[in-house]
Amino acid sequence: MTRRVTVALATGGVDRSYDVVVGHGVRSSVGEVVAGIGAVRRVAIVTQEGIPFSSAAALGLDAVQVSRHVIGDGEDHKTFDTVARLCREFVAAGLTRGDAVVAVGGGMVTDVAGFAAASYHRGIAVVHVPTTLLGMVDAAIGGKTGANLPEGKNLVGAFWQPAGVVCDLDALATLSERELRCGRGEMAKYHFLTGDDLQSMDLADRVARCVEIKAEVVASDERESGRRALLNYGHTLAHALEIASDHSIAHGEAHGEAVAIGLVFAARLAERLGRIDAERVQAHVQVVDGEYALSSAIPHVAGADELVALMARDKKAVDGLTFVLDGPQGVEVVVGVDGTVVRDLLAELLPA
């Protein structure tokens, strides 16, 4: 069964809503999404080597001229240089303002391809086809695009909403166990934003429900001026761990795994600040370590002082250390968190 979730967006009377299609075998509907954009003549597929369903035929793009653009694997390629190279390749392929980009891959692909689409001709249409669980439930939804700087993750980018998102669950069968764990780490976050029992749902319903939760938050706060920041629950420490471990899925902390660690750390910090009790902390541990079979242990990729310094550079920091923390009113943004408390807690939790 195919699920369809609408991300409802309207500004100044202009309807910019789009659909997220979730199901098995839905990849060929990309052609229909592109046709709905308008008079698109050329499509640039941005992908990586080995990504499934990344051909024009698989995506139902027989009615347009298609060029293919392959970017490197890993966060080392999530840079301005990659965005600039893509834009130059778009010129060579003859893309005009009326054409479109189709991003096929994980969150790194949709972030970079979306940033290139937002920049080229000051913005052309983009359609996302996430092929990882993390991409389906988070990265491809909501219009955030970006690239990394040496100083931090996703510090540059643009809000550029896609014309549509197509989540073909068949792609999940091609993923490694570690890639699936990354998606489960991001899924775990949604348990605490809503209290939904996601584990009781089948995979399609669970993915669709995560999309619904994110869509509702994005619709209420598209540019992260308030409520949307709640979607960063667990991400403050996660981003620091990723930077400290050089963003390496092979040797360091991959994003979803780091988010899982960050969720439990945020719960422990909330307890230390008197916002929640030990029972609520244990609920986080149960979801992360129990239901999703992830690890909440903080790896020793850096010392407490370095991690605090990295967290202070986080893009949502507005007044000293900023965390999304659980509390009596639920999850909320907390600014000006005492760095000494954070440092002391990290020092206690880091392995000797």
Active-site residues: which are they? 122, 144, 186, 214, 224, 228, 232, 235, 239, 251
Q: Is the C-alpha dihedral spanning 284, 289, 294, 300 positive or negative?
A: positive
CA nearest to 292, candidates 207, 204, 189, 205: 189
CA-CA distances (angstroms) from residue 235 to 176, 230, 316? 23, 10, 10
Residue type, 282: Q
Rounded Cα gap, residues 188 and 259, in angstroms:
9
Burial 128-164 (b: 16+ CB within 10 A, else e): bbbbbbbbbbbbbbbbbbbbbeeebbbeebeebbbbb
State the Cα angle at 41 between 37 and 101, rounded to 5°: 60
The answer to whether 138 and 210 have CB atoms below 8 angstroms apart is yes
Strands 164-168 and 125-130: parallel
Q: Look-up: residue for tokens 């605490």?
A: 192
Residue type, 35: A
CA-CA distances (angstroms) from residue 97 to 3, 93, 120, 164? 31, 13, 8, 18
